[in-house]
Structure 1
């Protein structure tokens, strides 16, 4: 069912997608941390965090990208706009956010600032964020020293804990961008003094070029900045973006230097000029490759000041009334856009959560530049013989793209499986960008010639879960539902690339060729007894329940894509048959063996990893974790109409099942058909499903008040222990931070709630509901006596997840873990979307701005509020868009 959108932002999206107007050319594509990244690491010991530190970042020019506060730039990061601040007390000019390295604290990789993404549109026609800048001296040394003294058992020492915000002595720096055309960008900086006394703030709106000229490579003519005579304006000339002007309202001094490490005028000139009073640090000729306006603002207690700028191809109007009118129009259009994108039945609280989640997603786009072959050469190595150097096997990769990042400070590099989940959330507002992101990872510049998808820059060769086929089909379905027709050419192109990656998995990650898969840590960091990315201390290898489940879901998704493609090209019916057979053999392998050699434990009613020992024996690792829940995710229903159009395909499938008794014994007993003839493919029968759900929905095991935990709470009192020689390995329920050093100790899958896992559980429950219908009910929660069908269970999980971000009766949001300040006047409407959440109280943990896959929360309330196209969660049938029950709007409101 196509939905017609006629608003201004939808028209801009159409123009951008069709190439009519380049509305996406400029956006918030500036990283928030370029220092401490692999790209900038030229050390001998591959110590990226310490090769280029935060303290050095203000004076050393970067090689591959730039960073800044509230940044805006073009899609190639040629010209950058950002903000520098000084409160008169800090020892450092605030040009970028501060945080700890991986070795400096009990969490590590941890930003120690507070900023919030408040609003954004997908073409970046309007953007808004808030940064809370203290008026007292920023406690850099205290944050490092105190965190360094705390062990893994202690809480992180955060900026709020230092008392620096006492008496509200801080500035709210509100940064907004608005476009008056694809190449005409306005900025409005509003500074609020929240403190009890007048305070002075020095604001330096800054423009600079990414340094492409200092590395011995011919990358075009050197760009230039110069003062415009008689105007408070800077002329910026770059061969990629042409000549443009940054102008400011009012008369303010200009500062110029070079974005270089060495020379008379260096990258740190503004720091030295402002903090040290070095007048000679800046170029009196008023030219360079980095420039800023020097704005002094004295703000009374409770007052505010506004700075207006315009960056365009001409020196345009900067009168306050004209600028503010443009902002008012863009804000009204953003309101109109989200009114169309979100279900009308959403409550005000749900709408606020969904909109700020989308803002975080859209602000977290980043230009990512990394030419691996050139990088290896710059290390003095032959790229063809640098296998001992990080990413030495990936010399084919050439990255120069705008990518949706997990977090532009803590994770300012793409992560493969994160990005697949990002595209699902982004599809709610920008299907065109979602499709290009999925296509990017599968492109020849990224996908390894072997077929492997690059994981992330710390190690492209690590293995992430293969969720990209599932995401591809879901994005296609959402596109088809919204526009009435699917992008068949894109789906076909993706199918062939995915097939290459599927073959890599089959050839590389099936140790014995028996359709049971390994894969390593698979993005779940410390979830296992052992480091699953390293050789096992026992020798041997792991047959992984999660790796095998991921491949089952991969088969199901490829089967769905092939069936869709077969509607216009019968050759894909044979491909559908092949993926059906792949799934069948995986199902046989999962269910075939008995005793200790089986993943399914009949006594526990749960799936476990199998430890295969060198002597040929096998042992189940009885850890009740997400690993054993993931087989539930491999449950998919198929529209009978897609198969009945190819009677030969159905005949071939029946013939395959009939010819293989082992397949027939697994797929035929308890075979489920939905009310409309839907086919269900799953790794379990109804009996096992009920046993899995009993654990999933048990509040003493996986079911938290805020979603599904990654490890059963059972292991709090009953930790799993495994002894190897004199060493005992343990897995214990830890609802917050991990006490394990595995993967740096900055990520925990031993108890907290993770959004990608929860969305897969909800998706599986909806598919199972379509197969089993209203008659299939379970206790939810387990032991409560309350029976619910699987749609109602899915809705219950959705409500619990959304509850993390909604204010309770006291006005406090669970995501803030009881910190009262977040319920106070100037904080209460600002929401952070963390990496993961406390398994018992819902407090946000890990990266504070990882809106990436946590942005999936924007889908949850819409899924169950009857919004056509989003409550699919990939049944894959346009004809079933309205076949799921819709929540009663009176009850919803």
Structure 2
């Protein structure tokens, strides 16, 4: 057991609070719903980046390389100034939803290089230009929506290496002893000056009338039980919007010489150093925040570095090789760095906006019907700049890679949104901050199973009490889906856009043309999967508690009704199209007519994913379950192809629930594995490439709608235009497909083979197909024979420069033809699943 594993056990048992401090500070608090006090609900413009240096936040804080305690009462981060910028660099800059040619996007380069799960050691890097940061050029870009986004490298500000690499390392001497080493590398050809300001401040928790805490100088800066010491001169002000020494004071002092508080007290303090860094050399700055320093600075830091290496040597599969190990370690570092303290008391938030939470007016406000919700937790975020708030299905996917390094945190995250403080009284799980009432795919049950099985493997036994508690809470959510998202009572489910943004012909979350309703192939398939996952949990819990037998049969029956609804006998317009060998959404009009929407997308592949295999030993502990399931299947098998699998044992006596039979499976795989359709060099595309030349078109009441294959950014403003599901590769959806292929291989065995790629003549088992898709996904980040990483496309600095080429970014999604990274650049929550893939292919 490594020292880091010992710390994890101490944190788990409560003997040492090793997780009390961590990277829990956001990278963007401005522009969030929580900070929006406008009447219009325009969060982006209610609190702008330009205001962030002077206007005090109400619900959280942000900063560069920021850390805080687990309630974000005391914060520590970095500020910089290169002598030319119009503002102090205190936070990451990016464009709002209405700026740029593709909407919101961070326009900086920063990297999460390392982190242990207790944050005993962390490493972060930032590239800061020596010339004035091109704020205006990035906003007023002159590019259209059909053009690629203007990126920071495109502005020329990094030419000739005229920038600083600023590397921040944190190490813990103890649970309340935090060391900060800032190393500034001058990559330019000449000496250059940099102002470095490690900054300590108190989150503004007193704006509601509470007692204001304070910092003061006593040789070191005193903050309650903590003492802060750092190289440089101490500058004090208040974390307030106005007053004698407001929040902007330190910015104005460094840039313009404005006075700071001469009494050396306040709620914000920075230690100011002015560094002259020779060309090609480096200079360091040290800071320490501690209740009682434990050991010398250099010794602690060196030890924690070694312990981090030892921890990952134990975690990473030995077979990975150097480059794959780097990919996996940096992806896990990103997962751990994007943990964030998230506070949102909706009842209080509404009252601060002058709205009675119980009034009819509240129901018309964003999140107004979620007045019960009180969040004050450490949460795994999708991206602490682009999405500095949780998203329900993102969070579920995060738990897979997190379980590889911190089982206890993964378990907390699985259960978090199921607590009474979060889940709506009607059973709905909140989707994400922009609109809690939107619907994300119900993948929490899968996350619970994944984490439970990882704990079985790691600790020898799964936590059955925890799994049972999660199951009981998910039952309420399952019932909400059944009652709210099946409006016709036909087991054909709707969920709006279900996180897939612009994948459809029109916005599936809004009223449809002609007042129609949408029977969604993906919504229905997600519910079939939900049934299967809940059945798996019930079967597992039923090993020791026979009371789960009846509820297990409930999910078998419910799955069957969904299977019938998806492909009913003698239906005029079933979701399955036999001629095309594909599933399509169907729009039902008020007069009863139906219109298939022939978009070949992930929506039509999702039914393939609803496949779950049960081992003979899984069912042996459920006496009567198999017999009752077989009796049910016998009654309906002539009408429901999917039930054909239930009575027939597969390879080694296994049984399978699947929405598709072997004939439909072959047809779907023929389409999915066609490189002119879904199979790209870097995974499964979200939309078939055939729609590049054959767009799907729909006309209604003089309005024309169209879906065309777009491998990169969206040309549509739908959902802000910063996400595109019309062609790129998305890692989590590929993970769902891979799960199904591995499951079905266990049922069919090696005898079931398909052509992969379609038309190649190469026959593969389903497991080999899954491994081939995994290889393509992983290759997105690997340095190829040409020495280049596909993820970085034509960005030459990332491909060739030794100071850039091993710094990895885990983008939101990837170009459908060449694998280049697109969308949010730090979407480690989504794409951190590459760590899961690397682990899987190494087993």
**Corresponding residue to 1:172 among 149, 162, 165:** 165
Native 8 Å contact 1:834 1:847 kept in 2: yes
**Could you report, residue by residue, the CA deviation over 1:734-783 in whole angstroms, capped at 9, with x for unpaired residues?**
00011111111111000000001100111110001100111111111000
Tell me the CA shift for residue 651 of structure 1. 2.5
TM-score (norm 1): 0.93
SS class of match (1:175): strand
Matched, 1:65 2:60: yes
Match of 1:264 in 2: 244
1:477-496 equivalence runs, <5 A: 477-496=453-472
Tell me the CA shift for residue 165 of structure 1. 0.2
Native 8 Å contact 1:129 1:176 kept in 2: yes
1:626-705 equivalence runs, <5 A: 626-660=602-636, 666-668=642-644, 672-705=648-681
Native 8 Å contact 1:61 1:267 kept in 2: yes
Match of 1:240 in 2: none
Cα distance between partner residues in 1 of 2:441 and 2:357: 28
Match of 2:257 in 1: 277
Cα distance between partner residues in 2 of 1:673 and 1:182: 54
SS class of match (2:605): helix
Matched, 1:236 2:223: yes
**Corresponding residue to 1:774 among 736, 741, 750:** 750
In structure 2, the CA distance between the partners of 1:819 and 1:723, relative to structure 1 (3 Å rule), is same
Cα distance between partner residues in 2 of 1:378 and 1:569: 48
**Could you report, residue by residue, the CA deviation over 1:828-865 in whole angstroms, capped at 9, with x for unpaired residues?**
11000000000001000000011111000011122111
Cα distance between partner residues in 1 of 2:650 and 2:743: 10
Structure 2 regions of 5+ residues with no counterpart? none
Tell me the CA shift for residue 473 of structure 1. 1.0
Match of 1:46 in 2: 41
Matched, 1:850 2:835: no
Native 8 Å contact 1:425 1:853 kept in 2: no
Cα distance between partner residues in 1 of 2:205 and 2:55: 14
* Range moving further from structure 2, 675-684 or 308-317: 308-317
Matched, 1:401 2:377: yes
Tell me the CA shift for residue 702 of structure 1. 0.2
Tell me the CA shift for residue 668 of structure 1. 2.6
Cα distance between partner residues in 1 of 2:374 and 2:639: 44
Cα distance between partner residues in 1 of 2:276 and 2:637: 82
Native 8 Å contact 2:811 2:827 kept in 1: yes
SS class of match (1:499): helix
In structure 2, the CA distance between the partners of 1:329 and 1:466, relative to structure 1 (3 Å rule), is same
Cα distance between partner residues in 2 of 1:596 and 1:795: 38
**Corresponding residue to 1:301 among 270, 276, 279:** 279
Cα distance between partner residues in 2 of 1:68 and 1:498: 36
Tell me the CA shift for residue 825 of structure 1. 1.2
Tell me the CA shift for residue 426 of structure 1. 0.7
Matched, 1:82 2:77: yes
Tell me the CA shift for residue 665 of structure 1. 5.8
Tell me the CA shift for residue 315 of structure 1. 5.4
Cα distance between partner residues in 2 of 1:389 and 1:173: 42
Tell me the CA shift for residue 538 of structure 1. 2.4
Cα distance between partner residues in 2 of 1:91 and 1:865: 50
Cα distance between partner residues in 2 of 1:628 and 1:698: 15
**Corresponding residue to 2:807 among 811, 821, 830:** 830
Aligned residues: 840
1:756-795 equivalence runs, <5 A: 756-795=732-771
Cα distance between partner residues in 2 of 1:715 and 1:330: 52
Native 8 Å contact 1:526 1:742 kept in 2: yes
**Corresponding residue to 2:723 among 732, 747, 755:** 747
Match of 1:720 in 2: 696
In structure 2, the CA distance between the partners of 1:638 and 1:272, relative to structure 1 (3 Å rule), is same
In structure 2, the CA distance between the partners of 1:594 and 1:698, relative to structure 1 (3 Å rule), is farther
Cα distance between partner residues in 1 of 2:324 and 2:636: 51
**Could you report, residue by residue, the CA deviation over 1:450-483 in whole angstroms, capped at 9, with x for unpaired residues?**
0000001110000000011111111111111211
**Could you report, residue by residue, the CA deviation over 1:181-219 in whole angstroms, capped at 9, with x for unpaired residues?**
111111111000000000111100000000011233x3x
Native 8 Å contact 1:721 1:730 kept in 2: yes
Match of 1:255 in 2: 235
Structure 1 regions of 5+ residues with no counterpart? 1-5, 238-242, 867-893
Alpha-carbon RMSD across the aligned residues, in angstroms, is 1.2
Tell me the CA shift for residue 673 of structure 1. 2.9
Matched, 1:99 2:73: no
Match of 2:550 in 1: 574
Cα distance between partner residues in 2 of 1:507 and 1:258: 51
SS class of match (2:523): helix
Tell me the CA shift for residue 663 of structure 1. 6.4
Cα distance between partner residues in 1 of 2:297 and 2:570: 72
Match of 1:886 in 2: none
Cα distance between partner residues in 1 of 2:121 and 2:257: 37
Cα distance between partner residues in 1 of 2:836 and 2:439: 27
Match of 1:352 in 2: 326
Cα distance between partner residues in 1 of 2:38 and 2:645: 60
SS class of match (2:343): strand
Match of 1:158 in 2: 151
Tell me the CA shift for residue 670 of structure 1. 8.7
Native 8 Å contact 2:630 2:647 kept in 1: no
In structure 2, the CA distance between the partners of 1:669 and 1:206, relative to structure 1 (3 Å rule), is closer
Matched, 1:368 2:342: yes
SS class of match (2:27): coil
Tell me the CA shift for residue 664 of structure 1. 6.5
Matched, 1:210 2:187: no
Tell me the CA shift for residue 540 of structure 1. 1.4
Cα distance between partner residues in 1 of 2:619 and 2:325: 39
SS class of match (2:396): helix
Native 8 Å contact 2:569 2:639 kept in 1: no
Tell me the CA shift for residue 276 of structure 1. 1.3
Cα distance between partner residues in 1 of 2:556 and 2:63: 49
- Structure 1's consecutive aligned runs of 4 or more residues displaced over 6 angstroms after TM superposition are none
Native 8 Å contact 2:568 2:640 kept in 1: no
* Range moving further from structure 2, 306-315 or 715-724: 306-315
Native 8 Å contact 1:585 1:663 kept in 2: no
Match of 1:125 in 2: 120
Native 8 Å contact 2:443 2:530 kept in 1: yes
Matched, 1:865 2:828: no
**Could you report, residue by residue, the CA deviation over 1:33-83 in whole angstroms, capped at 9, with x for unpaired residues?**
000000000101111101110000000000000000000100000000000
SS class of match (1:384): coil
Native 8 Å contact 2:644 2:661 kept in 1: no
Match of 1:885 in 2: none
Cα distance between partner residues in 1 of 2:786 and 2:632: 61
Native 8 Å contact 2:633 2:647 kept in 1: no
Native 8 Å contact 1:175 1:190 kept in 2: yes
